[in-house]
A and B are shown apart, each in its own frame.
Chain A
Amino acid sequence: MIVRISGEGQYELPDTDSERLNELDNRAVNAAEQGDETGFRELWSQMLELVITDGTELSGEELVESDVILPPRDISFAEARGEFTGEGLIPD
């Protein structure tokens, strides 16, 4: 499974991580929806850790599509709320 961290690069992760990553992803969005910043931060750092610990960074030479694309590492809570919960002021 190829995971991209937006604005950063791609990582190859074992497919077995897929379920865990998706679960964290959805829980993080739930936290954002409920305005739970601490919860969101915690889940988001768990996601990053999973990708970075379990994954191998792809060299820039490879040209592959990602299975999963995560937001930029330094995403703010306000950005996450706006982007992922449908509470953003500007729909795109």
Chain B
Amino acid sequence: MAGLGGRMSTVIKAKISRLLDKSEDPGETLDYGYQKQLELLQNVKKGIADVVTSKKRLQMQSQKLEQQVVKLDTQARQALSQGRDDLARAALERKTLAQTELQSLDAQVAELEQQQEKLTENERKLRQKIEAFRTKKEVIKAQYSAAEAQVKIGEAASGVGEEMADLGLAMQRAEDKTEQMRARAGAVEELEAAGTFNDITEIGPPQDDIDRELAQLGAGTQVDDELAKMKAEVGSGEGGASKKSLEEGGA
């Protein structure tokens, strides 16, 4: 039966037997394999921790943006109450950009969150398998340590060896996936760190960035609408409560 498998199976079997070819003393191989698995598991764990750190930084960035949105809204109202429509418009334009940025950031965080859960689940399963492997290898070593059982240990080890090699492949895959995720999280973080919105509340013209200009084009009507709405609000409360709240907002 062996060797009759289809192409997929043949490729994987070849991979596994290549991993096993190196083994001379089965007992030693099993111990070494177990150590190797533990090391790989540590790498996976470390990778997940890095992804979590990236995610947390992005979440903080997102909170900062939320505060900026509130602040810009307040500033727009202040500008309006002082008859500075131009400033109010500028503030609202920036608010719209900040909101767009916030949406994309939140989507990235959600995606990272989802990936992190998958990686963690994967890590948990692998840890269980490694633990099971440890028990198995001890049983084998105890059963077949006598010299006369050399042949038997060879046979038994080929089964457990396959298991070990397969576990090794699974670990390698988990590590690769974690590494990809870590790289992606890092890239998103860098992008945010170099973000175009950091200076959004500062006085002066916005950065000459095509993306931003395009976004502004799209945001134009939204800004017009919001400005009109705000004007109505500010106008209707003139001299009363709204003036008081504006003073508070500016403090």
> Which chain A residues have a beta carbon within 8 Å of chain B's beta carbons?
1, 4, 6-7, 15, 18, 21-26, 28-29, 60-72, 80, 83-84, 92
Contact = CB atoms under 8 A, between A and B. Distances in A.
B166 A22 contact: no
Contacts of A67: 1-2, 4-5
- From B5, B136, B160, residue with most partner A Cβ within 10 Å: B5
Interface of B: 1-2, 4-9, 11-13, 15-16, 132, 136, 140, 156, 158-160, 162-163, 166-167, 169-170, 173
A65 B2 contact: yes
Contacts of B167: 7
Given A70-B12, A84-B7, 12 more contacts: A4-B166, A15-B1, A22-B9, A28-B8, A29-B8, A62-B159, A63-B136, A63-B160, A65-B2, A66-B162, A69-B162, A71-B12
A62 B140 CA distance: 11
Contact of B11 (A1, A61, A63, A84): A84
B249 to A, nearest CB: 51
Given A6-B169, A15-B1, A69-B16, A23 B160 contact: no
B8 A25 contact: yes
12 contacts: A6-B12, A22-B9, A29-B6, A61-B136, A63-B160, A65-B158, A65-B162, A69-B16, A70-B8, A70-B12, A72-B170, A72-B173
